[in-house]
Structure 1
């Protein structure tokens, strides 16, 4: 508690801290919030782990060969598999029956003998290419030898160095990975901006409809109540956002999905930073709109313009931000579109750090003006019950 003789600024911020602490502690203890965090982390881990599990081990095969040339075919197959980044392990069995039983039991991926490839169900395309090429090579050498032609000389003549690959854009692969991180980040950013902004709006209406706000305003100023509510819920959202980003990056790095470098971490850090700015902007708008109504049934009507703007920002980031262009370049500096466009376009290489800072500066200036306007509407409407308070009336009664 602050002394009655403290200056107004100190009393204001002491009230803000009190309200923010109340909002944060109440909501972080809520079972629904904890379940939501657990579900989000589970979905994120699944999104990282499933592609890694599908991609790992799919190019490793166990194969057996039969017939008089089995050793030669197996040797050639193992060598040619390396050219296709495929791992072929050659196994031996005493007879055809044992090999066929191994295929049926799933111990072998394929058995090559008698001019055929025996599999249990399906034959992978990479493995088929390796086995067909190895068989053709050995069969060709046998026919050349039968014709009196030196097969070794022919093989040497056919050993041509593969064409070297030159990439004009050496950062393409890494940029695609950054774009993937930014895309997932924007999906998460959209959901959390919507969730926590609606939480602010619901809290305003709940306090107003239950008349608790009248008791609260007897202890703290209206602007301190609004500011504390926005900060308290925002800190909770920031904690969840940072936790999700850290867990996602750590899981992706641990499973080998990405190599964790500074260029990979930066888009994720941008998502967290822009959550702070984006949330502050949207939360002010949602709170001011919610203060105009006294019933939950009327809330959706007044927050529809803000939810529509948030949805529009999301689609612009997904469709225009991924491809860049003049339209996206302009909106990347326009709040609140910048909150979602900046991470996506930075990951794509369309924006530099100084452009991130410029957009953040513009958003901060817009936020200050918006906070003043939202506080005035909130003050003018939060104590008025009954029907929906017109914006003009709320603005006129604000101080």
Structure 2
């Protein structure tokens, strides 16, 4: 073969090789392929989780919340153990049957009617009256809504208990549980909700959102933010539940722990969907403004929805009607329904119906929030009005 022929052949081979490389480049793709929808959502969620875990403010606030929860449980247990004598009314014939009145603030009364009157008026917590039919004790313990556990425990033998107005929990325990559910929901929802709104505004101010939207859809970005913050919020709830279990076990409140078991589980389930609902609304509210100073104007209505259950459950924890209404309103159901379950006022089917209502509202809030978020995210300058955000 001549030199010219070999040169021509080599040139053709080189061109063929170049063409193969080019074709191979197009088939395999030198540019990385776009992630799937699920992968993109998880990438955003990982970014949200990583940002929070690297934030000193978040870590410090979480530590303070956990320490405060443990301190509150221990303090409540110590207060219960160090409380003074139990005020009781005792008839003269019943006093002779008791082995000891140590730890009791005794008020002697003439008969059973006088004892019941003091119990009904709230002057004493309970009354001990003679009753020959109450074998083998010879006396009965009378209380208004619930028998004082400390009194029944300090008696040598537990007598027959007669309740004039039966109730499964006393006022102090009910108030403590109401505050616990209300505070946990308020702090977790407001902390993570405001963080989501601030994160959205920060991305708009730094123009990072324009880069993100060029790679993924707005709804994908919203889903990642909601999922990431929901994971962190639920992690806090689980840690608080563990602290409650350990704290109540340490101070010897095993009976209270048994009563709180199912309500705490229901609280976690209701909180999950309630938080997703609020997170979507907070993200939408953040997308409607372009400055951190304006966040309050759009998140204020959502903040009211978070604070309302807290105050309602504290002031009306002994009102069955208010608690029943709260348990079916989506924004207060995470607090109202677990509280009713703890008090034993809810039927077995009620939490299921309430949960269905909450999930339906959650889906509607996600769709509404996604529309507002998508229509407002790239709009800079003045605050976007709600009507404009809905119209697009």
Name the TM-score, length of structure 1 as normaliser.
0.68
2:70 maps to 1:53:
no
Match of 2:325 among 323, 330, 333: 330
Match of 1:354 among 338, 349, 352: 349
Deviations 1:316-343 (A, max 9, x none): 2333353111x54234212112222111
**Structure 1 unaligned spans of 5+:** 61-78, 87-124, 130-159
Aligned twin of 1:27: 52
2:188 maps to 1:163:
no
| Count of residue pairs the alignment pairs up | 304
2:370 maps to 1:394:
no
Structure 2 CA distance for aligned equivalents of residues 80 and 375 of structure 1? 71
Aligned twin of 2:21: none
Equivalences for 1:244-259 in 2 at 5 Å? 244-259=240-255
2:315 maps to 1:301:
no
2:223 maps to 1:213:
no
Equivalences for 1:263-302 in 2 at 5 Å? 263-302=259-298
Equivalences for 1:119-198 in 2 at 5 Å? 163-165=139-141, 166-168=161-163, 172-173=168-169, 177=173, 180-198=176-194
Structure 1 CA distance for aligned equivalents of residues 75 and 373 of structure 2? 47
Match of 1:17 among 21, 42, 47: 42
Aligned twin of 1:102: none
| Higher RCO (CA-CA < 8 Å; seq separation 6+) | 1
Q: Which moved more, 1:47-56 or 1:230-239?
A: 47-56
- CA shift for structure 1 position 373: 1.2
- CA shift for structure 1 position 374: 0.8
Aligned twin of 2:359: 364
Structure 1 CA distance for aligned equivalents of residues 334 and 80 of structure 2? 33
Aligned twin of 2:336: 341
Cα 1:175–1:57 change in 2 (3 A) is closer
Structure 2 CA distance for aligned equivalents of residues 26 and 363 of structure 1? 29
Structure 2 CA distance for aligned equivalents of residues 58 and 365 of structure 1? 47
SS state of the match for residue 355, structure 2? helix
SS state of the match for residue 353, structure 1? coil
Deviations 1:352-397 (A, max 9, x none): 3321111111111111111111101100000000001122222222
Cα 1:260–1:58 change in 2 (3 A) is closer
Structure 2 CA distance for aligned equivalents of residues 330 and 268 of structure 1? 20
Structure 1 CA distance for aligned equivalents of residues 254 and 201 of structure 2? 44
Name the TM-score, length of structure 2 as normaliser.
0.70
Asked if 2 retains the 8 angstrom alpha-carbon contact of 1:181 and 1:268, the reply is no
CA RMSD of aligned residues (A): 3.1
Structure 2 CA distance for aligned equivalents of residues 212 and 248 of structure 1? 41
- CA shift for structure 1 position 174: 7.7
Deviations 1:15-71 (A, max 9, x none): 1111111111221232222211211121112112123334446789xxxxxxxxxxx
